[in-house]
């Protein structure tokens, strides 16, 4: 599929990004349900704490939403990561909606980003900090364009997760290589 000059790089012709538009308090358009099991609702007792997988999903959603536009390619990257990576092997995919809504609700608050990072630090094992940063970089790079807001969010994540500068650069370079759009 070719890309016309008016479409953003990384977006196929005719594919439009999904904006985050408040519909009602706590609800957003442009967010699709990423669930294999639609018949099982999330239980209330499932929503009180975050698993390490929830933390990873929250960071991916936060990076995607940081520029106030969630692109289809970013949603596909998040879904692919959750469906394919071993770290999500036993993850209840129905929790993605709850985690996404939590991120959006936090972004509406004045200190929401700090609260999100507090939840991440409290619930994500340190051994997964680099994994979290790699997933965030993959989501940011998935549409072929890094906005200033996405770059700032990645910088915040790198700082909050105490990612070494050289390790961070290697992770970023890997994401860039995986999502490079070659145009002969």
List pLDDT tens digits, range 46-61: 445 899 999 999 999 9
Total length of the chain? 184
pLDDT for the residue 101: 94
CATH value at residue 115: 1.10.3680
What span, in angstroms and rounded, lies between the C-alpha atoms of 82 and 91?
Answer: 8
Q: Which residues, 6 or more positions from 72, have their beta carbon under 8 angstroms from its beta carbon?
A: 11, 15, 17, 18
pLDDT at 84 over 80: yes
- Is 6 within the bounds of a domain? no
Whether the pLDDT of residue 164 is over 90: the answer is: yes
Residue 91 is part of which domain span?
A: 48-178
Question: How distant is the alpha carbon of residue 152 from its chain centre?
Answer: 14
Number of domains into which the chain is organized: 1
Q: Does residue 88 fall inside a structural domain?
A: yes
Burial class (CB in 10 A: 0-12, 13-18, 19+), 153: buried
User: What is the spatial distance between Cα 59 and Cα 120, in angstroms, rounded to a whole number?
Assistant: 8
Q: Does residue 108 form part of some domain?
A: yes
For the chain, the C-alpha Rg in angstroms (whole number) is: 16
Q: What is the pLDDT of residues 111-123, one digit of tens each?
A: 999 999 999 999 9
Provide CB contacts within 8 A for 54, sequence distance 6+: 95, 99, 123
**Per-residue pLDDT at 23:** 34
Check residue 46 and give its pLDDT: 41
Are the C-beta atoms of residues 41 and 94 closer than 8 Å to each other? yes
Q: Is residue 54 part of a domain?
A: yes
Average pLDDT taken over every residue of the chain:
79
For the stretch 4-21, pLDDT in tens is 444 444 434 443 343 333
């Amino acid at each position: 599929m070719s890309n016309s000059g008016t479409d953003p790089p990384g977006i196929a012709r005719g594919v439009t990004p999904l904006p985050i538009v408040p519909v009602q308090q706590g609800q957003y358009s442009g967010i699709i349900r990423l669930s294999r099991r639609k018949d099982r609702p999330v239980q209330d007792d499932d929503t009180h704490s975050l698993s390490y997988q929830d933390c990873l999903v929250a960071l991916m959603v936060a990076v995607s939403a940081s520029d106030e536009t969630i692109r289809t390619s970013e949603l596909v990257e998040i879904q692919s990561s959750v469906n394919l990576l071993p770290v999500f092997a036993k993850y209840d995919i129905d929790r993605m909606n709850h985690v996404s809504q939590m991120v959006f609700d936090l972004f509406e608050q004045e200190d929401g980003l700090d609260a999100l990072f507090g939840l991440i630090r409290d619930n994500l094992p340190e051994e997964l900090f680099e994994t979290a940063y790699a997933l965030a970089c993959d989501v940011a790079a998935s549409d072929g364009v890094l906005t200033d807001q996405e770059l700032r969010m990645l910088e915040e994540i790198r700082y909050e997760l105490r990612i070494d500068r050289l390790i961070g650069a290697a992770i970023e370079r890997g994401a860039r290589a995986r999502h490079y759009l070659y145009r002969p």
